[in-house]
Structure formats: structure tokens, C-alpha cells
């Protein structure tokens, strides 16, 4: 093989086939990312459902309106006839329960 052809077939002394084999498969990265996103969503949904069953229904409703449905505090206080403090307290309590449940589910899986 002429020297020029041999130089094209290698990069820094390594055959191109070896270089290509070491490159990560881009489709595998995309699939892994999608799987990870789906896993986290399912974990959060499971935790949310468990918290919903355990929590004070009024607190959960305030949390749901504020966090999940993106209602303003003003809308919630008028509609539900509660104070701003109650909205923020419910959000804090349910968020803490949710985080605790996610950790519990993760440790149960591992």
C-alpha cells in the first residue's frame, strides 16, 4: 500500500475501524435519555399517587392547584376561601412528603 493510502487509513497510528468502534452510538444516548426521563416521570407519578392517598385532602388540593395546575395564590385564596399562608403551608408539607416518598421508592427499588 502506498504511504499516502496507509496514512489515510490510520489516524495517529490506529486503524479507522478501531476509532469508529470506540465512538458512542448516538442513538443509544438518545434512547437512554428517553428511558431515564420516563423512569423519573413514572417514579414521580407513583410517589404523587401514594402521597395523595396519605395526605390531608385539603392540603393536597391546594398543592395540586398551586403546583400542578399553576393557579396563582390569589386565585386559590378566592376560590378555596383559604389564606395565602395555608396555600404555602400545604405546598411545603406536600412537597416534603413527596420528596420523602420518592426517596423511599428509590431505596425500595435498589
Tell me, what's the pLDDT at 7? 47
Give the C-alpha distances (Å, rounded to integers) separating 22 from 28, 48, 76, 81. Answer: 13, 41, 55, 62
Mean pLDDT estimate for the chain = 85
Query: HSE on the CB side for 6, CA within 13 Å?
Result: 4
Q: pTM for this one?
A: 0.69
Class of the domain covering 3-109? mainly alpha
Where do the structural domains in the chain lie, given as residue ranges? 3-109
As a whole number, mean pLDDT of residues 89-106 equals: 96
What are the tens digits of pLDDT across the range 32-81?
888 889 999 999 999 999 999 999 999 999 999 999 999 999 999 999 99
Least confident of 24-28, 29-33, 85-89: 24-28
Amino acid at each position: 500500500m502506498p504511504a499516502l493510502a496507509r496514512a489515510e487509513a490510520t489516524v495517529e497510528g490506529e486503524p479507522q475501524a478501531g476509532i469508529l468502534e470506540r465512538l458512542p452510538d448516538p442513538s443509544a444516548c438518545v434512547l437512554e435519555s428517553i428511558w431515564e426521563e420516563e423512569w423519573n416521570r413514572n417514579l414521580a407519578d407513583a410517589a404523587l399517587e401514594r402521597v395523595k392517598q396519605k395526605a390531608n385532602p385539603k392540603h393536597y388540593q391546594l398543592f395540586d392547584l398551586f403546583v400542578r395546575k399553576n393557579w396563582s395564590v390569589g386565585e386559590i385564596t378566592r376560590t378555596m376561601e383559604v389564606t395565602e399562608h395555608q396555600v404555602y403551608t400545604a405546598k411545603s408539607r406536600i412537597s416534603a412528603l413527596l420528596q420523602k416518598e420518592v426517596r423511599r421508592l428509590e431505596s425500595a427499588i435498589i
